[in-house]
Structure 1
Amino acid sequence: MTTLDGREVYSRRDLMARYGVSLSSLEDWYRERRWTGHPEAAGKKGLELVWDANEWDQWFEARNSTAHLVSRADLEERYGVARSTLERLWALREENGHPEPVKSLDRVMYWDAFQWDTWYADYKKRAQRREVYLDRSGDPDDLLTLADVARVLGVTPVSIGHYPKRMPRGWPQPVEEEELPSGRLRRWYRRADIWSYAENRTAAGPHRARNPGGKPRSGEAPEHP
């Protein structure tokens, strides 16, 4: 146990070893202590911040209790995240591991604050590492429809159906275009160009680019994969 002026204290390394909490969670809790209630540091041991052991244990026990619940409104205020983003994270819970609510009251869901905070810290960390599914099989020169591209990226065709019109940063130009009897355009993309897009896209997700060609072509219907 680390000591400071004769009293027991925790460094972040001590807390990671004792409680199995990630460094990113510890840093987020302290940085956002206005909302989390995290204790103030007791001082420094060398170059590391340390916290009074008894005070931290009591805070963590209270925080880990299921009695400490937060709603979406609480999370909006706490993290400055838009409600639409919180709703999207919940809708995609099977993909991102979003925790289940502890209870619902008057159609409002409540989550355990410790569980949600821990999940969100890990979610942000994974996003920063740009963990992206990418199917590497196939010939780089293969030409792919938008539906084929969705399979390569591991997403649903609907989620990228608007990309040809509202291109995210780095989205490639089609190699070929074919007008269908319905009047729609079917676009073909080179597999290697899709791989490059997936490798370079930012962790923040797609960014709409300015339309380099000005207004969409008159009468062009939305593309379907």
Structure 2
Amino acid sequence: MTTLDGREVYTRRDLMDRYGMSLSPLEKWHRNRSLTGHPEAVGTVGRELVWDREEWDRWYQERGDTRDLESRADLAARHGLARGTLDRMWSLREENGHPEPVKTVQQTTYWDADEWDAWYADYRRRAQRTELDVDRSGDPEDLVTLSQAARILGVEPTSITHYPKNPPRNWPQPAVEEELPSGRMRRRYRRADIWHYADTRTIAGPRRRFPPRGTDPVPGREPSSDHRTPAEEPGQ
């Protein structure tokens, strides 16, 4: 057993021998310790970092404990949701307030079941209120700008400016599209098509055409993916 100043410690070699694991996950847990909670090293023996034996064993045991926690598969089965719906809600967490995971074990992410249920109940209530805000007045064949489409849907115009380039599921193609001398695009949509989108959109939110770049399997935020859309002509 390795010791440091009379204290029992682990080197990575000790951990590999004791737990039969490879070097890669040990390095990754330590590198991402701000997310994994991995203990800090207590010093070095030779050139190797070492960790307090009792502290590391306790952390490792707690890390594998998933009682009262649920994975995406558990949440999908209990709530009758598709995995894709759960993935979209998670990808839009900055907008919808989706809870952060409690831990990741063997690349499976877990959430506190009570916290997730409370968030999802509120999420559904907010989605239902949004549906009530849809403006059903006007001629179905009217052509409307993107800003007018936002008002029909009962949302802020800025919340859908990226739709033409990064469309959510069932977002309509514009009925009229022309390039202005400035290089910006003018798009107009049939009012009936906007109503159809309102009737078929899901509470999961927009479906991203491409997954976020640089996704890290360790729980925490992925590097953001910039999907900015060039500004449209005022009033579009």
Report TM bin, short chain: 0.3 to 0.5
| Greater relative CO, 1 or 2 (CA 8 Å, sep 6+) | 2
TM-score by length of 1: 0.43
TM-score by length of 2: 0.41
